[in-house]
Chain A
Amino acid sequence: GDSVTQMEGPVTLSEEAFLTINCTYTATGYPSLFWYVQYPGEGLQLLLKATKADDKGSNKGFEATYRKETTSFHLEKGSVQVSDSAVYFCALSDRGFGNEKLTFGTGTRLTIIP
């Protein structure tokens, strides 16, 4: 079945550091890929998504590129801020009737220190 493997956390960085959170996937079909973020005490918010190979999703300075050849969707940000502290989830969704469920990675807790 489908699965998502995420970089183990927690990750602690200094403000303005470069961020990479690795994500690889296994899917039988041709999935869409997502990054969701969960701030303390809140629900999940979509951060970015990509629906086909070589697509780049971007939002709030975060980027991720859908790499079919390496089955990866790594999250990057050039300069993190304290407000980026949260838990980040990589997820995939297959296509077609009845296959829309999201399969999530384990989540990576990110803490940014001033």
Chain B
Amino acid sequence: DSGVTQTPKHLITATGQRVTLRCSPRSGDLSVYWYQQSLDQGLQFLIQYYNGEERAKGNILERFSAQQFPDLHSELNLSSLELGDSALYFCASSVSRDIQGADTQYFGPGTRLTVL
């Protein structure tokens, strides 16, 4: 158990809909990262939040948005869903100390999104 929790575990929805994925980081971790794992694109970084602020952005679609709340949990919002958005969405957390050597990122179990 990594200490990172994600809900829900599975989500099935229809095209055009909007969903929210939730992540709780490990105790003490200030950074939350979102990744998408799909068969054609592999594992891709979407976005990072650090202590409530956006810190880095990757290949995140404009239809997707995220935020990190004062209690450090994070939500990833996916809207106007398309069939191609079906994927496994992982959240990871790290302490993020900005010193030499990257911190280890600890991954949650993922949310499997199926868009029908």
A residues contacting B by CB (< 8 A) are: 31-32, 34, 36, 42-46, 49, 51-52, 89, 93-107
Minimum C-beta distance from A28 to chain B (A): 15
- Given A101-B33, A101-B48, A106-B42: A46 and B55 within 8 A (CB)? no
B110 at the interface (CB under 8 A from A): yes
Report yes or no: B56 in contact with A46, Cβ–Cβ below 8 A: no
State the B residues within 8 Å of A (CB): 2, 4, 31, 33, 35, 42-45, 48, 55-56, 58, 90, 92, 94, 96, 98, 100-110
Q: Is the interface of A mostly helix, strand, loop or mixed?
A: loop
Q: Which of B2, B42, B110 lies in contact with A45, CB distance below 8 A? A: B2
Q: Which of A43, A45, A52 has the most CB of B within 10 A?
A: A43
| Cβ–Cβ < 8 Å partners of A46 in chain B | 104-106
A102 and B45 within 8 A (CB)? yes
A99-B56, A101-B33, A101-B45 known; A49+B108 contact, CB < 8 A: no
Q: Are B102 and A100 in contact (CB under 8 A)?
A: yes
Q: A45-B107, A97-B55, A100-B31 are in contact. Are A31 and B45 (CB under 8 A)?
A: no
Supply 10 A–B pairs (Cβ within 8 Å), ascending by A. Answer: A51-B102, A95-B102, A97-B98, A100-B55, A100-B56, A102-B33, A102-B92, A102-B105, A104-B42, A104-B43
Taking a contact as CB atoms under 8 Å apart, the answer to whether B110 and A43 are in contact is yes
**Bound state CA distance, A94 and B98, in angstroms?**
11
User: In the complex, what distance in Å separates the CA atom of A51 from the CA atom of B99?
Assistant: 11
